[in-house]
Amino acid sequence: MGKEPLLALYRARVLTWHGVPAAAVPRAHRILLVRKEGRRGIHNFREVRRHVELAFGAHADVAVSGFAGMPMAEQLRLVAQTSLAISPCGGISMILPFLPEGAHAILMNYMASATDPRRHGECDGCSWTMEAELWRHVRHVHKQYYQVWGASDFAGGKPGRDAAVRVDVARLERLIRASMFEMSP
């Protein structure tokens, strides 16, 4: 408790250092789909992208990034102009605390397998948020979690800390609609 002001100050200083106004709010909706290759990615990313573009393309700019090869200032500008980010868990989502005030983030959960270590209190069969300890202190971003409920939510039908999530696009669409209903850029 009490770490929120330190995180807010850190966010403001990093953004300012890179020439990105810390208090700016997007003037239009941008949905950022974060693409991660390898472990903990979105298994059916192309299907998710196609569905989001068809369902929301008339109301929002739909952008895709994996951030690889982008200079830090460019990454921060992209995130600062985003009203909703959808991201797998893990290190790739760690730039999302730089989202603007009032933005939303939909974060993919994971499920530990029977052989995975329990580092953060995970339980067998529980949908878990990898960076929960950090996200509790990021108050300016509204979080929703894409819960995983069983083997069918994972590539190859195998849950695990490093498994790719198979996203149900209808379920994701409901989360996006709830987020977009709550915010107005």
Q: What is the pLDDT of residue 135?
A: 87
How confident is residue 43, by pLDDT bands cut at 50, 70 and 90? very high
Residue 121 pLDDT > 60, yes or no? Answer: yes
Least confident of 21-30, 111-120, 126-135: 111-120
Query: Above pLDDT 90, what percent of the chain?
Result: 65
Alpha carbon 78 to its chain centroid, in Å, reads: 14
Residues 124, 118: contact at Cβ < 8 Å? no
What is the DSSP secondary-structure string of the chain?
A: ---HHHHHHHHHHHHHHTT--TT---SS-EEEEEP--STT-BTTHHHHHHHHHHHHTTTSEEEEE--TT--HHHHHHHHHT-SEEEE-SSGGGGGGGGSPTT-EEEEE-BB--TTS--SS---TT--B-TTHHHHTT-TTSEEEEE---SGGGBGGG--BTTPPB---HHHHHHHHHHHHHH---
Averaged confidence pLDDT in the chain? 91
Name residues whose C-beta falls within 8 Å of residue 41's C-beta, 6 or more positions apart in sequence. 35, 88, 164, 165
Residue 184 pLDDT > 70, yes or no? Answer: no
Q: What is the pLDDT of residue 54?
A: 98
Residue 58 pLDDT > 70, yes or no? Answer: yes
CATH topology of domain 4-15+25-182: Rossmann fold (3.40.50)
Query: Above pLDDT 70, what percent of the chain?
Result: 98
What is the DSSP secondary-structure string of 55-104?
A: HHTTTSEEEEE--TT--HHHHHHHHHT-SEEEE-SSGGGGGGGGSPTT-E
How confident is residue 145, by pLDDT bands cut at 50, 70 and 90? very high
